[in-house]
A and B are shown apart, each in its own frame.
Chain A
Amino acid sequence: MSAPIEEPGEVLAADGTPLKRSLARALRVQKLRALMLIAPLLIFILVTFILPVADMLYRSVENQIVSETLPKTVVALESWDADSGEAPDEAVFAALAADLQIAAEQKIHTKLGTRLNYENPGMASLFRKSGRQVKKWDLETDGPFKEQFVDVDEDWADPEVWQTIKTYAPKITAGYYLNSVDMKLGADGVEVRPESERIYLTLFGRTLFMSFVITASCIVLGYPVAWLLANLPMKTSNLLMILVLLPFWTSLLVRTSAWKILLQQQGVINDILVWIGLVADDNRLVMINNQLGTIIAMTHILLPFMILPMYSVMQSIQPTYLRAAKSLGATNWTAFWRVYFPQSVPGIGAGSILVFILAIGYYITPALVGGTSGTFISNRIAFHISISLNWGLAAALGGILLAVVLIFYYAYDKIVGIDNVKLG
């Protein structure tokens, strides 16, 4: 490939192409090669990790079940005025009979009932009961269906039931997200749930509050240790570093089980306290299955993540600054507070964000030592996936948690840079 010479005096590469173009091509090849090396992993992560998370986010708004199970009813309901205060007319009931008969044969009407039960308790039994009856009806001759349905269950005359079906007819719903912030999609738009049904905002609040307490206790405990490690001679600090790194490498479950054993009422700490005489034998401290247990265990588990970034920042602080401050007349405290501490703030910031991000999504430790008062939002997500089977709500709770974490991740990237994460 030989390009024509366009301008006289242009610098040419050995093969006759203009140097500028030849360099640009070399750069392009280089970029392409780098991307080719990254591509396999990127695809791998996309398929095994990013797509699953995207799937979860999709499930948090997905709501095809109503329009798929009751296609004719949904269309017929469009002309019904939800504010009329009356149940819809015969046309809608006929459509419902037709839809429900098909659904009952495929045995999917109970699924729909379960789905609508999340929004309006009582719908599950309504659908189960009606499905059984509808199967016996003859669609051609058994009309009018309105009375028949009301005979099966009076709830069918209740406009609220129909409002729920109409509200959740669209294929995409914000219902799960509203649910996760203790609101619901009523007939007249968004409304706050009654006091007795509000749990999630409290739970989010508790998760944030406890993560904050854990982060703060990690700062308080981590700062002196990091300072000591950064200021001791290399040999000693390397040795002491093992005491920080060993917990970091030890299985999470080992550490959690250790705390479970230590904090029990018949456990080692209570035994020692009784032996010293600080606590009466019949009055042992309750330190487990509550918030205190979660905070103690998680502070211990996350402390290395605070110490390591602090240490690497403090290592780079010149001791000469402190000496200079003191020689200029600063007291020890002023020298520390005005000279040393400001320089160590980036380490505190990096460690805090890391610990906070890790704490907010914790599941195992709160599940094992948290009891009922020390659980996090993650425990609720797991509950909805494996026990209550309300996957949409689990996905919405997860979506909110993910958003919070990503905000902090972004901040971490801006402040520290992901490239600067160090392990050990």
Chain B
Amino acid sequence: MSLPSYATTGEKAWYYGFRVITGLIFFFLIAPILVVIPLSFNAQDFFTFTPEMLRLDPEGYSLKHYRDFFSNSDWQHAMVNSLKIAPMATVLSVSFGTLAAIGLSQPHVPFRRAIMAILISPMIVPLIISAAGMYFFYSRIGLQGTYIGVVLAHAALGIPFVIITVTATLVGFDQSLTRAAANMGANPVTTFFRVQMPLILPGVISGALFAFITSFDEVIVVLFVGSAGQKTLPWQMFIGLREQISPTILAVATILVAISIALLTTVELLRRRSEKLRGIA
């Protein structure tokens, strides 16, 4: 990839030009996310850099938007709801999803392709359609506007991610290990928890994180399936962005970016560990 010493001027120009272009694309990818962070410390209620901020004057910076977030009851209520709904949805998706992923990775599964297509479909079907259908159907059975309704809906949306990550981990799984365990007298439950589970755990955890972030970031379904009592953080942000946009949103956004960074790091570490465990890398 590095430039050979015999490269012509044209080749050199292309080589550096290409790097500048890709650099700009990377900038396009990351800048909008990073720009939110300094703006959230703005001492004014503006959405742009004030002259004080540009001079790096400490006067221009403050934590007032964060204080607002932590003292405003609407935001706090929304955060509590998010922290209630997302973990419950995650537990549901992960427990059903992991079992099914193990079933799907058996050597002989009838209708494997069709089942897989159904299980992945919540990821593919546009959210507005899922939301509309769930709204109609859950109102029929009395789940509309309840915590259970929102949790079930979010669990369904998280399942494709669990299936994808766990089946990917199981691809390299050596089935003779479970046979060996059975051979030595372990029953299927012991085999699962003592042999299989520790090996696929990294995949299960990253699936769980995906399911968590799916629920934690989800707006459309909760807007329709939930009622004001189930207002989550993204819902509150959505209202804020649509109606009276307040700089508190920037503080919330920064907190969410920090959470994403933490989750991304965990998933990357888990992926490497899983590859090591399975001897791929």
Q: Which residues of chain A have a CB within 8 Å of any CB of chain B?
A: 27, 30-31, 33-38, 40-42, 44-46, 48-56, 59, 221, 224-225, 228, 231-233, 240, 242-247, 249-262, 264, 266-268, 271, 300, 303-304, 332, 357, 360-364, 367-368, 378, 381-382, 385-386, 391, 394-395, 398, 401-402, 405, 409, 412-413, 418-419, 421-424
Contact = CB atoms under 8 A, between A and B. Distances in A.
Contacts of B260: 246, 249-251, 254
B119 interface: yes
Closest 7 CB pairs of A and B: A361-B126, A37-B103, A52-B133, A52-B137, A41-B100, A56-B133, A34-B106
Contacts of B108: 27, 30-31, 34
Given A45-B156, A48-B152, A37 B217 contact: no
Interface in B106-157: 106-110, 113, 115-122, 124-138, 140, 152-153, 155-156
Interface of B: 1, 11, 14, 18-19, 21-22, 25-26, 28-30, 32-33, 35-36, 39, 46-49, 92, 96-97, 99-100, 102-104, 106-110, 113, 115-122, 124-138, 140, 152-153, 155-156, 159, 161, 164-165, 167-168, 206, 210, 213, 216-217, 219-220, 224, 234, 237-238, 241-242, 245, 249-250, 253, 256-257, 260-261, 263-264, 267-268, 271
Contact of A418 (B39, B106, B120): B120
B65 to A, nearest CB: 13
A251 B241 CA distance: 14
B33 A254 contact: yes
A418 B28 contact: no
Given A45-B156, A49-B156, A33 B125 contact: no
Nearest to A354: B124
Given A56-B136, A391-B136, A50 B118 contact: yes
Given A36-B103, A41-B159, A240-B26, A251 B126 contact: no
25 contacts: A30-B108, A33-B103, A34-B104, A37-B100, A38-B104, A55-B140, A221-B25, A246-B33, A249-B213, A250-B33, A251-B217, A253-B241, A254-B33, A257-B36, A264-B48, A266-B47, A268-B35, A300-B32, A304-B29, A332-B11, A367-B242, A381-B128, A381-B132, A422-B168, A423-B210
Contact of B22 (A228, A257, A267): A228
Contacts of A262: 32, 35
A409 B217 contact: no
Q: Which one of A249, A255, A394 has the highest number of Cβ atoms from chain B below 10 Å of its Cβ? A: A249
B25 A225 contact: yes
A218 B132 CA distance: 29
Contacts of B116: 418-419
Contacts of A401: 126, 128-129
A378 B128 contact: yes
A418 B161 CA distance: 12
Given A30-B106, A271-B48, A391-B136, A402 B129 contact: yes
B234 A255 contact: no
A300 B29 CA distance: 6
A350 to B, nearest CB: 13
A55 B137 contact: yes
B234 A44 contact: no
Contact of B30 (A53, A246, A256): A246
B25 A257 contact: no
Given A246-B264, A332-B11, A413-B117, A398 B132 contact: yes
Contacts of B217: 251-253
Nearest to A27: B108
Contact of A385 (B92, B121, B219, B224): B224
A385 B135 contact: yes
B110 A31 contact: yes
Contacts of A257: 36, 237, 241, 249-250, 253
A357 B165 contact: no
